[in-house]
A and B are shown apart, each in its own frame.
Chain A
Amino acid sequence: MDFSAISVVSLLATLMVAATPILLAAIGELVTEKSGVLNLGVEGMMIFGAICGFIAAVETGSPLIGFIAAAAGSAALSFLFAILTQYLLANQVASGLALTLFGLGLAALLGHQYTGIKPPSSPKLDLPILSDLPVVGPILFNHDYMIYFSILLVAGVWYFLKFTRKGLVLRAVGENHDAAHALGYKVIRIRILAIMFGGACAGLGGAYLSLIRVPQWTEGMTAGAGWIALAIVVFASWKPWRIILGAYLFGGVTILQLNLQAVGVDIPVSYLSMAPYLVTIIVLVIMSADRKRASLNAPASLGRIFHASN
């Protein structure tokens, strides 16, 4: 065993790569939940995005088109969830589970001819001087564009929710849909848009996995990342910036665990692989333990069904 083989610089650089799929999915789910909808189908939307993006990128040779296709595909999938929960008033927990099971199956079906293929590689940021800096360069200035996009997306969501009128309306719908309806806001339309935004983000996260992180298609490759993203939203107390903190924390745990495997720590691989899931549980417990604060942060109408009695 040789711990000196673990380089802190490459650890931090790969941490961001490991965190970005979860970051993208979590920021989308945050918007969905802020509008009062609990979509448990993140895992299904992510893996569907992963295969949509993969197929599009392989067929066209362009990673950018891959990402666009992933966002569009998963948004379309989430629209099914939107119809179920918003028009047909189905239980959101059950509908989310259905979305996950359906998405996993559909992705496996679409992807079974695409295993073992390499996707086109994505360009990396290459700034003169900055990218060549020691330490800081590899950590901050030498990533693929999606990593910077994901951080900009968080900033955008933060700005939208906090400073724009539309963001305020979306939060109002999530806190009290009856009041928002009485004020004349289109509760259902707003929620459908929020669900589809969440779907698109989850799709991007999935495509990041299959196009950049792994990069390959394997069945069930998300391996619970969507569920971890759901836990991150709770961890972040529904605050956009904390999503970054949460996602990078999990990226760190994942990378550390992989590095420990690589240097041959005397713990079997299977037990090390449990780490991200166990940390998720621990974090969830810590964040939920203070019941008063937890209920203060969560959108008040989260998971409740809205039916206008007009």
Chain B
Amino acid sequence: MIRLEPRTEPSRAMIALTPILAVLATMIAGGFLFSALGKNPIEAIRMIFWDPVLGEHAFYYRGQILVKAAPLIMIALGLSFGFRAGIWNIGAEGQFIMGGVIGAAAGLALYPSESIFVFPIMLIAGTLGGLLWALIPAYLKIKFNANEILVSLMLVYVAFNFLAGMVTGPLRDPDGFNFPESRSFQQWDAASNPELIAGSGIHWGVLVTMGLVIVAYILLTRHIFGFHIRLAGQSPRAAKFGGVNPNKMVAICLGLSGALAGMAGLYEVTGPAGKLTTTFPLGYGFTAIIVAFLGRLHPIGILLAGLLLAVTYVGGDVIQANLSLPKASIQVFQGMLLFFLLAVDVLVHFRIRFKRGL
């Protein structure tokens, strides 16, 4: 008979080991999935995890990894603070969209200016767009006790419809033959977020993300804010006595994650996506949730997890092209990863004891 015995302290070894276990378990389960679909499992797994990094055509894919990792990491960093404190912003996708739309709108208002201030203005507008969008659930939570999970998620659908309304209405490219898309930012130097080193995938958003990892690390481990966050998550009552204002916590955590998601959205629209379309949101806001958990809500962990998930994103493109599998198969993979992670998490807080009889 198997019994779970609580550990007196969470196991440090297991905290580091369980994400790796989860990835391995996902590979094995994923292999079964692919063989069920009639594909060679080993080949499929190699295409997802190996080819984008070290395969034959990796020189092309490697750049894509950073392009996809940057928004994932940026959003996940923001989310991690809230998740630690038990504040669940799962509407990052909506904040990502709003950041892109508001930032793009601010830029397009200045078209065709070539001033060096255009991009900074767009960046600020995009960040504020995400911030304000996330403050809606924060306000409703504080003022009316409305569940932030449901509100922030409903706002994703609202944001998506808003985007659709904008690209078919006010923000549609006047010279674009009525296609539902905005002017191209890639062809407008003042507003573009170009690849800085050809083939590397590095754009301004990637550099900012690296900086943010460091800032988040300091904030979490060395700053009083990080302490309050950890306290509020582990013991809400103690936090209250310690002078942590829970309402303020809700506003800061949601606002912070919204601002980062909005910023990621703006970098995406001006850089890799190039223009506002209804297909520019690729689900980073949802995948970032997996990144945050897989990274153990810790900045360094999130950095690694973001890179890994970006590899699977790119790997998804590879298997789509080579094995004619739908893009969705990679989503199954990512969902499975979170499942296995949550499952092996039990090892952190419990010891497994095998006992005979009972």
* Chain A interface residues (CB < 8 Å from chain B): 40, 80, 83-84, 88-91, 93-95, 97-99, 101-109, 112, 219, 223-224, 227-228, 230-231, 234, 268, 270-271, 273-274, 277-278, 280-281, 284-286, 288-289, 291, 294, 307
Name, among A80, A89, A223, the residue most crowded by chain B CB atoms within 10 Å (CB to CB): A89
Residues of chain A lying within 8 A (CB to CB) of residue B343: 83-84, 88, 90
Residues of chain B lying within 8 A (CB to CB) of residue A80: 339
Q: How far is the CA of A234 from the CA of B90 in the complex (A)?
A: 18
Taking CB as reference atom, which chain A residue is nearest B344?
A: A88
Q: Tell me whether chain B's interface is mostly helix, strand or loop, or mixed.
A: helix
Residues of chain A lying within 8 A (CB to CB) of residue B156: 224
Q: Please state if B153 and A224 are interface contacts (CB–CB under 8 Å).
A: yes
Instruction: Given A102-B336, A280-B150, answer yes or no on A291-B169 (Cβ-Cβ < 8 Å).
Output: no
Which of A89, A101, A106 is B286 in contact with, Cβ under 8 Å? A101
Residues of chain A lying within 8 A (CB to CB) of residue B90: 97
Residues of chain A lying within 8 A (CB to CB) of residue B327: 108
Q: How far is the CA of A265 from the CA of B326 in the complex (A)?
A: 38
Q: How far is the CA of A307 from the CA of B349 in the complex (A)?
A: 12
Residues of chain A lying within 8 A (CB to CB) of residue B336: 102
Q: Please state if A270 and B157 are interface contacts (CB–CB under 8 Å).
A: no
Residues of chain A lying within 8 A (CB to CB) of residue B350: 89
Q: Please state if A102 and B153 are interface contacts (CB–CB under 8 Å).
A: no
Instruction: Given A102-B338, A230-B150, A277-B154, answer yes or no on A271-B145 (Cβ-Cβ < 8 Å).
Output: no
Q: Please state if A108 and B140 are interface contacts (CB–CB under 8 Å).
A: no
Q: B residues 272-311 with Cβ under 8 Å of A?
A: 286, 289-290, 293
Instruction: Given A88-B346, A224-B154, answer yes or no on A289-B338 (Cβ-Cβ < 8 Å).
Output: no
Q: How far is the CA of A98 from the CA of B286 in the complex (A)?
A: 10
Residues of chain A lying within 8 A (CB to CB) of residue B149: 40, 93
Name, among A90, A94, A107, A289, the residue most crowded by chain B CB atoms within 10 Å (CB to CB): A94
Q: How far is the CA of A278 from the CA of B158 in the complex (A)?
A: 7
Q: Please state if B334 and A101 are interface contacts (CB–CB under 8 Å).
A: yes
Which of A103, A271, A284 is B150 in contact with, Cβ under 8 Å? A284
Q: Tell me whether chain A's interface is mostly helix, strand or loop, or mixed.
A: helix
Taking CB as reference atom, which chain A residue is nearest B331?
A: A105
* Chain B interface residues (CB < 8 Å from chain A): 4, 6, 37, 88, 90, 140, 144-147, 149-151, 153-158, 161-162, 164-165, 168-169, 286, 289-290, 293, 325-336, 338-339, 342-343, 345-346, 349-350
Name, among A83, A284, A294, the residue most crowded by chain B CB atoms within 10 Å (CB to CB): A284
Given contacts A270-B165, A285-B146, 15 further A-B contacts (CB under 8 A): A89-B346, A90-B342, A97-B289, A104-B335, A105-B328, A112-B328, A224-B153, A224-B157, A270-B164, A281-B146, A281-B150, A284-B150, A285-B140, A285-B151, A307-B4
6 residue pairs A–B, Cβ–Cβ below 8 Å: A83-B343, A95-B342, A101-B290, A104-B331, A109-B37, A281-B146
Q: How far is the CA of A129 from the CA of B206 in the complex (A)?
A: 70
Q: Please state if A277 and B157 are interface contacts (CB–CB under 8 Å).
A: yes
Q: Please state if A108 and B338 are interface contacts (CB–CB under 8 Å).
A: no
Residues of chain B lying within 8 A (CB to CB) of residue A224: 153-154, 156-157
Q: Please state if A289 and B329 are interface contacts (CB–CB under 8 Å).
A: no
Residues of chain B lying within 8 A (CB to CB) of residue A273: 161, 164
Q: How far is the CA of A274 from the CA of B349 in the complex (A)?
A: 43
- For residue A253, give the distance in angstroms from its CB to the closest CB of chain B: 13
Which of A271, A284, A286 is B151 in contact with, Cβ under 8 Å? A284
Name, among B6, B146, B336, the residue most crowded by chain A CB atoms within 10 Å (CB to CB): B146
Residues of chain A lying within 8 A (CB to CB) of residue B349: 89
Q: Please state if A102 and B335 are interface contacts (CB–CB under 8 Å).
A: yes
Which of B169, B326, B333 is A268 in contact with, Cβ under 8 Å? B169
Residues of chain B lying within 8 A (CB to CB) of residue A274: 157-158, 161-162
Q: Please state if B332 and A105 are interface contacts (CB–CB under 8 Å).
A: yes
Residues of chain A lying within 8 A (CB to CB) of residue B150: 227, 230-231, 234, 280-281, 284
Q: 3 tightest CB-CB pairs across the interface, nearest first?
A: A102-B335, A105-B331, A108-B328
Q: Please state if B145 and A108 are interface contacts (CB–CB under 8 Å).
A: no
Residues of chain B lying within 8 A (CB to CB) of residue A284: 140, 146-147, 150-151
Q: Please state if B331 and A108 are interface contacts (CB–CB under 8 Å).
A: yes
Residues of chain B lying within 8 A (CB to CB) of residue A294: 145
- For residue A170, give the distance in angstroms from its CB to the closest CB of chain B: 23
Q: Please state if B338 and A109 are interface contacts (CB–CB under 8 Å).
A: no
Name, among A227, A291, A307, the residue most crowded by chain B CB atoms within 10 Å (CB to CB): A227
Q: How far is the CA of A281 from the CA of B338 in the complex (A)?
A: 28
Instruction: Given A288-B146, A294-B145, answer yes or no on A103-B335 (Cβ-Cβ < 8 Å).
Output: yes
Q: Please state if B326 and A109 are interface contacts (CB–CB under 8 Å).
A: yes
Which of A104, A105, A288 is B329 in contact with, Cβ under 8 Å? A105
Instruction: Given A227-B154, A284-B147, A294-B145, answer yes or no on A101-B161 (Cβ-Cβ < 8 Å).
Output: no
Q: How far is the CA of A280 from the CA of B147 in the complex (A)?
A: 12
Instruction: Given A105-B333, A284-B147, A307-B4, answer yes or no on A94-B157 (Cβ-Cβ < 8 Å).
Output: no
Which of B6, B153, B345 is A90 in contact with, Cβ under 8 Å? B345
Instruction: Given A227-B150, A277-B157, A281-B140, answer yes or no on A288-B4 (Cβ-Cβ < 8 Å).
Output: no
Q: How far is the CA of A268 from the CA of B169 in the complex (A)?
A: 8
- For residue B59, give the distance in angstroms from its CB to the closest CB of chain A: 29
Q: How far is the CA of A106 from the CA of B349 in the complex (A)?
A: 30
Residues of chain B lying within 8 A (CB to CB) of residue A223: 157
Which of B145, B153, B169, B335 is A288 in contact with, Cβ under 8 Å? B145
Name, among B4, B293, B339, B349, the residue most crowded by chain A CB atoms within 10 Å (CB to CB): B339
Residues of chain B lying within 8 A (CB to CB) of residue A271: 161-162, 165
Q: How far is the CA of A80 from the CA of B339 in the complex (A)?
A: 9
Which of B151, B330, B339, B345 is A102 in contact with, Cβ under 8 Å? B339
Residues of chain A lying within 8 A (CB to CB) of residue B151: 281, 284-285
